[in-house]
Amino acid sequence: MRALVVGNGAEMDSGFIGHRLRQHGYAFSELPRERPEEWPGLDGAELVLTLGSEWNVYRPETAALVEAEAALIRDVVTAGLPLIAICFGAQVLSHALGGTVTRTPDPEIGWFELAVDADVPAGGPWMEWHDDVFTVPEGFEELARTPVGPQLIRTRRVLASQFHPEATETMIARWLAEGGAEQLRSRSGDPDELLAQTRANVATSRHRAADLVDWFLSEQ
């Protein structure tokens, strides 16, 4: 089975979510966000996964690239393909389908518990790393939230999370090394403490991510 994965070229890491999808038999074709002119069509694709990014939906310098991804998402939804969207991917989805994305006065960086609807396998803690918040597009159900905003939304064919169920220790270490440590310190955070919390949480978050994928795929 073929899955299309949309992400920034240097950050095409689907982590625990990708690992579980591969266990379900999916093989990935990577679509770099920076080169939409090279993206293949949807023919033969059976699932689409859109990853996080340090970009913002509303940033002028990447507006054309965001609109290319938004158009792809609309095509995926119209075609009825299963879609999993993570963090920035979820924000682009909201933007593409009539929602809004704005900067939040309360950025979330670290491991957070969510308020989760019953029977949804999304109990935390989950890794969060975002400055923006999206609104729930029409036709979607909000399944999990924090005081900052929606954290998990879905239709039968689409699952979108503001949190990072894919996050591995290697991924968080890379984000810290690529400017995240400075960002965290600017908000009175401690990069070493975040890594320690990550080491303590990934053993169970790996299984929770697998459960989330299994739950979504069972509805397809």
Annotated catalytic residues are 87, 164, 166
Contact, 186 vs 148, CB < 8 A? no
Integer angstrom CA distances of residue 117 from 125, 144, 152, 159: 15, 6, 10, 14
Give the dihedral sign, CA 195/197/199/205.
Answer: negative
Cis peptide leading into residue 125 (ω within 30°): yes
What's phi and psi for 35, nearest 5 deg?
-135, 60
Contact, 23 vs 86, CB < 8 A? no
Q: Write out the two tokens for 108.
A: 């979330």
